[in-house]
Amino acid sequence: MKRSEVDRNKLSPMMQQYMEIKDNYQDELLFYRLGDFYELFFEDGLTASRELELTLTGRVAGLEERVPMCGVPHHTVKSYIEKLVNKGYRVAICEQLEDSKNTTGMVKRGVVDVFSKGTITDNDLLNEHDSSYIAGILFFDDTIILSIMDISTGYLASLMIPNDSEKLINEILNYKIKEVVLMDNLNTKLIDLLKNTYNIEITLSSKLLENKYTEIYDTVPDIRAKKGIMHLFYYLDNRQLKDLSFIDHVERIEKDNYLEMNIHTIRNLELVETLRLKERTYSLVWLLDKCKTAMGSRNLKNWLLNPLKDRKKIEERYDKIEKLNNEFILKDELRNALYEVYDIERLAGKIVNGSLNARDLLQLKRSLKVLPSIKDIIKKLDFSYEINTHFEVYELLEKSIDENPPISLKEGGLIKKGYNTELDELKEIRSGGKDFVAKFENEIKERTGIKNLKVGFNKVFGYFIEVPNGSKDLIKEEYGWYRKQTLTNCERYISPDLKEKESLILNAEEKIVELEYNLFCEIKNILKDEVIDFKKTATALSEIDALTSLAICSEEYNLVRPTLNENGVVNIKKGRHPVVEIVSKSEYVPNDCILEKETNTLLITGPNMSGKSTYMRQLAIIIIMAQIGSFVPAESAELSIFDKIFTRIGASDDLVSGESTFMVEMKEAQNAILGATEKSLILFDELGRGTATYDGMSLAQAILEYISENIHATTLFSTHYHELTKLEKKYRNIKNVHVSAIENNDTLTFLHKVKNGPADKSYGIHVAKLAKMPDKLLERATNILNDYEKNKKTTNDSQIQLSMAFVEETPKENILKDKISKIDPLNMTPIEALNYLYELKKEIE
């Protein structure tokens, strides 16, 4: 049965109300609150039962047949929401908006929250180490505006990039954006790529929120960026029902202020996750994250993805790390204090959006309790952070919130004794029912003189006064008692006073729950006014925590403070790859890396498994660590400040997009060639190996020559093409180095030491032997290799003679004309065109 096929006039009042609410949330799965359950009907019920593996039942709704329905208990709804959202569904929560006891007819209901991938605010459903971003995208002629927000923390930023789909995808993947809001569905290629390739939720919303939150828009000078914020805000405010009043500013991200790395570089260097398992463990952020707070962990990750280029700011972080290490006692005190701090950033977000409960407020209170201590330590360290202790808020929470509250807000037990007089009286009545009965009994005994009366209770009459038959004549009319029940040996009476107290006692529990909920909401509203200040405090604490983490790492991993320059010089003595060093079971072999203006390219040769890739990654990681303000793994390090890092390391097909190893290689090489400057770092690991030998070698040489002649970037280029080592003689900036190995009786030992000069051979068969290939196979490979080496010179001479004969018989002009006539420029990539032009130029010369 489908919702659209139903005659609404025949539906029950409850189901008619459901249909009206569902009309406004047709793209969401509507969780409709009925008592202690959330129920889903019609197509929503079918979908939820399938995706959540729930039993599909039916509900009587006034029709001849029951409508499809499934339901979940209200206290376990979070886990079901998480499952659906992760599968790409949106969920709307419909609650009762009034108490059924105070209402005649249907209880008013309405949607109070909407969940999607990019708008979850509950800490239980979020990764504490990662931000949770949603982004609005607006396209202009030459520009794309990316408006990025983490609704769980109130972080809002605007980013302007060139109108280039690859750059857009790169930023979306860099920020790990979970949901994208587009104006329309015209860009089908982009939508398909984001949704089906990268599993990013797509939302269409075409309106701007213009007359609300104008104080935020006014801080954005660029009209296009302002429209981007209005576009994102309309979706969040109108469709997601989010309160955005706790956003105090828009951060304008200037890409030129940071070391630029594309998503391939971030993955190749394993900054935040490993290449093979896509896990945080054994990544660089895993190694450096000694933070005591979730806020600090997220901030440190953000630093790693956005290293600085401002020398002054970098040096300031070095100074603070040095100060922390010198004041080691204060550093330990600071870490112990930070350990007591919960995620203030997300707690602040929950105060405004999300299911805030009393336990959240206890976490906030415990965090605020240590702020005076942290402020005092920061003052002693002479750091320029403003720490607001929020003393009044701490006092409020200390007086109000019970130390052991339930998770639910509708069970009572939230508020401490002494905070509210009315609540204390109700609790006294509830807990002191027996005391009241004894006290009341004594009072009326003295007042009436009836010493053998007693006050009792049963479920039929409630509280009553029981008087033996021998004493009932002592009851006077002025007492106002009236007979309720006659027994064999006594009479039972009820008095107005007793009835009043009975009502208080029996209704105390209900009133306590209602009053505690109202008091909690009052406290929550008071805290709303403090949210922006909480965010500022959280920002300061996250930076302090990240710096303290880097200080701990500098001692634990024997890191040194680097010296910075801006003249392109890199002089690293005994550098190390920090993750490999910690994880490796064998002793790590450190290596020097010296690069200058005159010699800015190292051509690295050596056998597989010898450590070429590690050596290349090591340089990039040392540079990144230096530019986030961290000390670095080396005996000493003088480093230039770089503007971009490009990498091609590792051989893997892009299976998701269906691109081969070679195509991925060429695209990443193209990114470097078109984007690098003389202040950039380029790392190319065995470029060209994805195609035929001569093709690969030719391209590798052409690319290396192009970089040397036109870009002048600092470059590490590893290769198995020994023919390329001759380039050292042609170009002054290229220097041959190799990773050494010792061959002894067909046994190969890797020394992992980088030395000057080219490697003498590749040792491929030796590596195959280490991989325990069959002996028969290895023997055959050796024989084939010997044949190739014997015939190599003859083959090369024959090729040269053939080539020369062809050149002599055909005029050069005709060759060039013939080549140019065959060019199809519309189907050539930029790098193909450059290589072709370069080859033609060489022929002319």
- What average pLDDT does this structure show over 734-758? 83
pLDDT for the residue numbered 661: 67
The confidence band for 806, taking pLDDT boundaries of 50, 70 and 90, is very low
- What average pLDDT does this structure show over 381-410? 94
Distance CA 240, CA 675 (A): 39
The per-residue pLDDT of the chain, averaged, comes to 88
* Residues forming a β-bridge with 573: 636
Report whether pLDDT(465) > 60.
Answer: yes
Distance CA 271, CA 282 (A): 9
Q: What is the 3-state secondary structure (H, E, C) of 290-315?
A: CCCCHHHHHHHHHHHHCCECCHHHHH
Residue reference for tokens 């790390």: 321
pLDDT for the residue numbered 23: 94
Q: For the ranges 49-63, 205-219, 576-590, 659-673, which has the lowest average pLDDT?
A: 659-673
pLDDT for the residue numbered 686: 85
The confidence band for 770, taking pLDDT boundaries of 50, 70 and 90, is low
Considering 201-205, 544-548, 565-569, the range whose residues carry the highest mean pLDDT is 544-548
Q: DSSP state, 272?
A: S
pLDDT tens-digit profile of 104-126?
778 899 999 999 999 988 877 88
- The residue with greater pLDDT, 86 or 559, is 559
Report whether pLDDT(498) > 90.
Answer: no
pLDDT for the residue numbered 604: 94
Write the CB contacts of 532 (distance below 8 Å, at least 6 apart in sequence): 246, 248
- What average pLDDT does this structure show over 767-781? 75
Report whether pLDDT(21) > 70.
Answer: yes
Contact 613, 649 (CB under 8 A): yes
Q: For the ranges 97-111, 178-192, 195-209, 764-778, which has the lowest average pLDDT?
A: 764-778
Residue reference for tokens 């392109």: 568
The confidence band for 762, taking pLDDT boundaries of 50, 70 and 90, is low
pLDDT tens-digit profile of 636-653?
999 999 999 999 886 554
Report whether pLDDT(298) > 50.
Answer: yes
pLDDT for the residue numbered 62: 85
- For 453-463, b/e burial (b = at least 16 CB within 10 A) is bebeeeeeebb
pLDDT tens-digit profile of 230-243?
999 999 999 999 99
Report whether pLDDT(839) > 80.
Answer: no
Contact 163, 141 (CB under 8 A): yes
pLDDT for the residue numbered 509: 79
Q: For the ranges 449-463, 801-815, 829-843, which has the lowest average pLDDT?
A: 801-815
- For 75-86, b/e burial (b = at least 16 CB within 10 A) is eebeebbbebbe
pLDDT for the residue numbered 431: 75
pLDDT for the residue numbered 798: 43
pLDDT for the residue numbered 149: 97
Amino acid at 559: L
The confidence band for 294, taking pLDDT boundaries of 50, 70 and 90, is very high
The confidence band for 807, taking pLDDT boundaries of 50, 70 and 90, is very low
- What average pLDDT does this structure show over 457-484? 86
- What average pLDDT does this structure show over 328-338? 97
CA distances from 155 to 176, 222, 252, 313, 532 (A): 15, 19, 11, 22, 11
- What average pLDDT does this structure show over 179-194? 93
Alpha helices in 401-530 (DSSP H): 421-431, 433-448, 496-528
Alpha helices in 242-400 (DSSP H): 263-268, 284-288, 294-305, 311-326, 328-339, 344-352, 358-369, 371-381, 391-400
Dihedral-angle region of residue 555 (phi above 0 means left; psi in -120 to 50 means alpha; beta otherwise): alpha
Q: For the ranges 129-143, 370-384, 618-632, 793-807, which has the lowest average pLDDT?
A: 793-807
CA distances from 292 to 281, 334, 374, 722 (A): 17, 10, 13, 50
| Residue 660, both tokens | 């081969």
- What average pLDDT does this structure show over 57-64? 88
Report whether pLDDT(499) > 90.
Answer: no
pLDDT for the residue numbered 297: 97
CA distances from 29 to 45, 56, 119, 132, 701 (A): 8, 15, 15, 22, 57
Considering 222-231, 354-363, 818-827, the range whose residues carry the highest mean pLDDT is 222-231
For strands 714-718 and 591-595, give the pairing.
Answer: unpaired
Residues of the chain above pLDDT 70, percent? 91
- The residue with greater pLDDT, 427 or 433, is 427
Could you tell me the pTM of the whole model?
0.84
Report whether pLDDT(817) > 80.
Answer: no
The confidence band for 527, taking pLDDT boundaries of 50, 70 and 90, is very high
Contact 834, 673 (CB under 8 A): yes
Report whether pLDDT(781) > 80.
Answer: no
pLDDT for the residue numbered 433: 66
pLDDT for the residue numbered 429: 77
Write the CB contacts of 113 (distance below 8 Å, at least 6 apart in sequence): 92, 93, 241
Contact 136, 204 (CB under 8 A): no
Report whether pLDDT(656) > 80.
Answer: no
Candidates 577, 610, 592; CA nearest to 759 is: 610
- What average pLDDT does this structure show over 708-730? 92
Write the CB contacts of 522 (distance below 8 Å, at least 6 apart in sequence): none
Report whether pLDDT(629) > 80.
Answer: yes
Report whether pLDDT(803) > 50.
Answer: no
- What average pLDDT does this structure show over 207-215? 93
Contact 667, 591 (CB under 8 A): no
